[in-house]
């Protein structure tokens, strides 16, 4: 069999859909603009949400692209055959153009036609939505698949958990989907072996989502004004199965990275799920690839203790830890992350030139974080050694979980390493006690800082939501101080800060900055409610809502008001949300920087403390 590379799959997919009148559009940043609901772009549909909800797309109604994505919800499963934190997704989109019939026919043609992927029919299985409440069973999709030659006994009808997609964050477009599976064994195990069969050989490679609903902030499913199609084909998985491999790590996508790790560690990779060194090598390969893409992104963040920066820190530190583990079973000199990172960059720079453009930033940040973590580890080990003589006095040879937690809390020393050091001295750690202390600490720090990092993506980033509300207050305050002309030009929110671009042809004075800050803090102190109403764009403007110039709005829009009522309010703006419930939750607003952004445009960076 010929090897199908990621590059070939990408170009086949794009060419196929271009031949079906789709316009190719660019994939977007891994760090979503102005979307407080997620930390990273988690699916190809993510940057397209406004268009799936009704915005016109400048490139038309039929689009195709590939998109870099990060999902860390399953980070603990990385190391098995298939889980990845970074992956690439191919997608074709209909924005109120074709729906089920054409979408499924095109999917079928791309998968089975000898000119495209040429997958034999008996290797394909399908799932469709079984229905729930008001949303009917998707007999329509099943009938289309059958008309194309898929037999009924290869079609599974599954519940919401399997066949209803989205939204990507807490709110947004969603709908029933139909998924395409590839049989990874020799041939289906029985006449009615289908996805979900206990033989466990069906692997999902593609997903056609029929976007019909918008889940709103109240958790209700509203019908979308125009139906859309969102599809996603995972590049890594598809390359894996089409090359007859059983693991993503055995493909051309990962081989060079794994070879570099083998070289540096002098550990041999055998491709087994059950061997510790193999798992560590996979984890290092995956995590460094993700870190390189985050650091190489045009909107890169640095490792930190919050938001996307925290995920990045975890990825890098976990890679370092597994690097250290590998060295225990080899005579290697040690893995320098940046050496592996260079291999990742070399392998992906043709498709993602930003990696090459940002190479020095990527390498610097990796080196710095690695050094910082090494220092942490050394301190932790030193502290542990100081504790050891006392610990050994315990006849049960159990180290208390509270002490292990102290090492973690004071020195950032990971529990796994405490356990390792303890076991080297014939001791164990009271893990339940540690977990308890850890949980208490998490709850405490969450309620203290009001920040939510729940590990999974798709969690509503509480901090980002607050920054979104602070942005409305700032926008209004600027207009009060500088006049109505100080309109918004751009806005970017992370869990750490807001950035706001607005029209002004000179620098603000120190006095103006101070006054702006004071106005915002006054509104926070008043603990004003923030409420939302839906109305026509004309009514919104008549009611005094700020709408963005040049922005296309639907006829009905959401308007967020900061104030006690429509007669007595501070700010009113046309906006998709979400927002904090009251201004009192925001904290203290501080402008850190005011500088030029481009000709006639100023940029403010502000934080909530």
Query: Could you list the residues that contact ligand SER (CB under 6 A)?
Result: 43-45, 91, 165, 207, 209, 230-232
Compute the least distance from the CB of residue 41 to ligand SER, in Å. 11
- Strands, E assignment, 271-399: 398-399
Q: Which residue is nearest to ligand SER (CB)?
A: 232
Toward ligand SER, which CB reaches closer, 91 or 169?
91
Burial class (CB in 10 A: 0-12, 13-18, 19+), 389: exposed
Distance (Å, rounded) from C-alpha 451 to C-alpha 446?
Answer: 6
Compute the least distance from the CB of residue 43 to ligand SER, in Å. 4
Distance (Å, rounded) from C-alpha 143 to C-alpha 429?
Answer: 58
Toward ligand SER, which CB reaches closer, 176 or 401?
176
Toward ligand SER, which CB reaches closer, 85 or 451?
85
Compute the least distance from the CB of residue 168 to ligand SER, in Å. 7
Toward ligand SER, which CB reaches closer, 241 or 437?
241
- Residue listed under structure tokens 């750490």: 496
Toward ligand SER, which CB reaches closer, 107 or 494?
107
Compute the least distance from the CB of residue 367 to ligand SER, in Å. 34
Count CB atoms within 10 A of the CB of residue 60. 14
Answer whether the bond into residue 607 is a cis peptide, omega within 30°: no
- Alpha-carbon dihedral 476, 477, 481, 487, rounded to 10 degrees: -40
Toward ligand SER, which CB reaches closer, 89 or 311?
89
**Measured CA distances, 595 to 95, 490, 515, 603 (Å):** 38, 14, 17, 5
Distance (Å, rounded) from C-alpha 73 to C-alpha 85?
Answer: 8
Compute the least distance from the CB of residue 165 to ligand SER, in Å. 5
Toward ligand SER, which CB reaches closer, 150 or 209?
209
**Measured CA distances, 570 to 75, 292, 521, 579, 584 (Å):** 43, 43, 12, 15, 14
Compute the least distance from the CB of residue 493 to ligand SER, in Å. 23
Toward ligand SER, which CB reaches closer, 174 or 557?
174
- Strands, E assignment, 504-566: 530-536, 556-563
In sequence order, the β-bridge partners of residue 536 are 556
Compute the least distance from the CB of residue 552 to ligand SER, in Å. 23
Compute the least distance from the CB of residue 585 to ligand SER, in Å. 31
Length of the chain: 609
């Amino acid at each position: 069999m010929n090897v199908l590379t990621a590059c070939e799959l990408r170009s086949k997919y794009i060419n196929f859909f271009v031949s079906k009148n789709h316009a190719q559009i660019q994939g977007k940043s891994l760090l979503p603009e102005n979307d407080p609901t997620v930390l990273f772009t988690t699916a190809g549909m993510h940057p397209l949400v406004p268009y799936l909800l009704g915005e016109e797309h400048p490139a038309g109604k039929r689009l195709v692209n590939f998109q870099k994505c990060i999902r860390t919800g399953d980070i603990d499963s990385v190391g098995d055959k298939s889980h990845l934190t970074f992956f690439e997704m191919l997608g074709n989109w209909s924005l109120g153009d074709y729906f089920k019939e054409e979408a499924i026919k095109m999917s079928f043609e791309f998968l089975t036609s000898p000119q495209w992927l040429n997958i034999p029919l008996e290797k394909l299985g399908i799932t469709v939505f079984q229905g729930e409440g008001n949303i009917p069973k998707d007999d329509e999709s099943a009938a289309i698949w059958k008309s194309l030659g898929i037999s009924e006994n290869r079609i599974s009808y599954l519940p919401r958990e399997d066949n209803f997609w989205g939204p990507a964050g807490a709110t947004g477009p969603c709908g029933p989907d139909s998924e395409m599976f590839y049989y990874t064994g020799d041939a289906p195990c029985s006449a009615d072996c289908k996805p979900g069969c206990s033989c466990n050989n069906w692997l999902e490679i593609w997903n056609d989502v029929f976007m019909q609903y918008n889940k709103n902030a109240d958790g209700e499913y509203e019908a979308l004004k125009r139906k859309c199609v969102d599809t996603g084909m995972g590049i890594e998985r598809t390359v894996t199965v089409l090359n007859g491999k059983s693991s993503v790590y055995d493909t051309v996508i990962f081989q060079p990275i794994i070879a570099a790790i083998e070289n540096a560690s002098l550990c041999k990779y055998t491709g087994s799920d059950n061997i510790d060194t193999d798992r560590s090598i996979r984890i290092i390969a995956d995590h460094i690839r993700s870190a390189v893409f985050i650091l190489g992104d045009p909107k890169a963040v640095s490792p930190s203790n919050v938001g996307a920066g925290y995920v990045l820190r975890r990825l890098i530190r976990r890679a370092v830890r597994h690097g250290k583990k590998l060295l225990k079973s080899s005579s290697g000199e040690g893995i320098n992350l940046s050496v592996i990172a260079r291999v990742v960059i070399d392998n992906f720079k043709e498709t993602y030139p930003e990696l090459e453009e940002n190479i020095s930033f990527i390498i610097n940040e990796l080196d710095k974080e690695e050094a910082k973590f090494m220092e942490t580890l050394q301190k932790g080990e030193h502290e542990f050694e100081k504790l050891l003589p006392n610990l050994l006095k315990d006849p049960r040879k159990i180290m208390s979980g509270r002490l292990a937690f102290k090492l973690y809390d004071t020195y950032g020393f990971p529990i796994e390493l405490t356990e390792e050091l303890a076991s080297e001295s014939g001791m164990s750690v009271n893990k339940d006690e540690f977990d308890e202390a850890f949980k208490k600490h998490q709850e405490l720090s969450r309620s203290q800082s009001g920040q939510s990092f729940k590990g999974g993506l798709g969690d509503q980033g509480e901090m980002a939501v607050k920054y979104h509300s602070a942005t409305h207050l700032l926008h209004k305050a600027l207009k009060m101080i500088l006049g109505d002309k100080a309109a918004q030009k751009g806005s970017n929110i992370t869990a750490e800060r807001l950035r706001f671009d607005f029209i002004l042809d000179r620098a603000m004075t120190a006095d103006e900055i101070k006054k702006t800050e004071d106005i915002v803090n006054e509104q926070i102190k008043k603990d004003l409610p923030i409420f939302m109403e839906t109305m026509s764009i004309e009514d919104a403007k008549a009611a005094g809502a700020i709408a963005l110039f040049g922005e296309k709005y639907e006829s009905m829009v959401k308007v967020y008001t900061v104030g006690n009522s429509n007669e007595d309010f501070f700010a009113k703006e046309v906006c998709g949300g979400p927002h904090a419930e009251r201004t009192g939750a925001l904290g203290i607003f501080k402008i850190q920087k005011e500088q030029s952004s481009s000709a006639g445009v100023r940029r403010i960076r502000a934080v909530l403390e």
